[in-house]
Amino acid sequence: MGEPIVLPHEDPAFVADPFPFYRRLREGGPVRRVVTVRGMEAWLVTRYEDAREAFTDPRLTSDLRGATDPRLLEQMPSAERTSAMRSMIRLDPPDHTRLRRLVSKAFTVRRVAELEPRVQAITDRLLDAIIPAGRADLIEDFALPLPVTVISELLGVPLTDRDRFQEWTNVLLTQRPDRPDPEATDWAWQQMWSYLEGLLAAKRRDPADDLLGALITARDRDQRLDEGELVAMAFLLLVAGYITTVNLIGNGIVALLAHPGQLKLLRDDPGLLPNAVEEFLRYDGPVNPGILRIAAEDLEIGGVAVPRGATVIIATAVADRDPAEFPEADRLDVARTAGAHLAFGHGIHYCLGAPLARLEGRIAIGTALRRLDDLALAVPYEELPWQVGGLRGLEHLPVTFTPA
């Protein structure tokens, strides 16, 4: 297979638009050896059919401890390393099955659906604050505070603690993989872990009708979540349900601003919003290039031999642009039926928070389009600052609109 291909994260053109590079990778083969932004070698699964199958292949494990490259764990801050091992996303059956079943009893479709009026109210309040100025940073002023407020309320974080909660969350989620700061990340993880332990203890003493309260009482016959699993689950719901939603909202809005015909189509027909959210997830999803697995044994993916212990990236961002699955895959089309995308994964690890992300994305983007007249970028598209590696989202989204 030759030398691995270095993903060019230092190239501003790649950071702004990695998809032409990804297209060449996909056209070159179903699995490509690459060097990631952290300098580690990985096997990138590039095609839709292979990626979908990889998500359900039991030979690809979510447990990172089997990786041949020890740096995969060593580069994680120590606090994250410890808690990640209790997290549902890093476990395989039967442990994953037990945790998923317990959490599903608390994090129900009904609980998410009941949030719709509150999500709308938070969205309107945030827009009320920026509309008079006629300009805003739609990440800092809108896309970021919306999901952190929603997840805080869902978990039952007291209003008086939310500033600290958001401070720790921002430290955790704004770390650049090419410029890691393990001390700051370790501090934030430890603060958050200690805080959640205390919050869970308080909710045991004084039960509340929120998600943490429901997780505490969730039972499956004689099984319950233990203390470490509860804290790890709260972490997972926070992190997975926060930054991915920020990126969904930001990426969706900027995609529309870069495609004025699609923006007009969606404004003229708001009934397309559910379709549009799926298309934003497919076209420029919040995780990039994809989701990590470890080869638990020697195997083949798409006819390519992958050795035991190899780090495998199921490249959802690349697979969701595969023209074999999505005709004219590089074209944004808000009327497209794109529900088969892999942005939320597939199989037993399919994102538990997907209904909440969809709800927030639909309300946030739809309300912004309805209320922000003459919405336009305040800087050239080429100057927008994108996150580097692992996730795909904007650090800032400066816009203008007609003040009211």
Predicted TM-score of the model (pTM) = 0.92
Q: Which range, 63-67, 102-106, 257-261, is most confident?
A: 257-261
Q: How many CB atoms lie within 10 A of CB 303?
A: 9
Is residue 320 a contact partner of residue 284, using CB atoms and an 8 Å limit?
no
Per-residue pLDDT at 224: 80
Tokens of 389: 């590696």
Residue 163 clears pLDDT 90, i.e. is over it: no
Per-residue pLDDT at 278: 97
Bridge partners (DSSP) listed for residue 311: 294
Cα distance between residue 320 and residue 276, in whole Å: 15
DSSP string, 98-164: HHHHHHHHHS-HHHHHTTHHHHHHHHHHHHHHHGGGTEEETIIIIITHHHHHHHHHHHT--GGGHHH
Could you read off the pLDDT of 12-71 as tens digits, one per residue? 999 999 999 999 999 999 999 999 988 889 999 999 999 999 999 999 999 888 888 877
CATH 2.60.260.20 fits 5-400, yes or no: no
Cα distance between residue 43 and residue 293, in whole Å: 10
Which position has the token pair 């212990």?
309
Model confidence at 80, in pLDDT bands (50, 70, 90)? Answer: low
Cα distance between residue 139 and residue 394, in whole Å: 7
Cα distance between residue 387 and residue 389, in whole Å: 7
Tokens of 181: 């700061």
Per-residue pLDDT at 211: 87
Bridge partners (DSSP) listed for residue 43: 33, 312
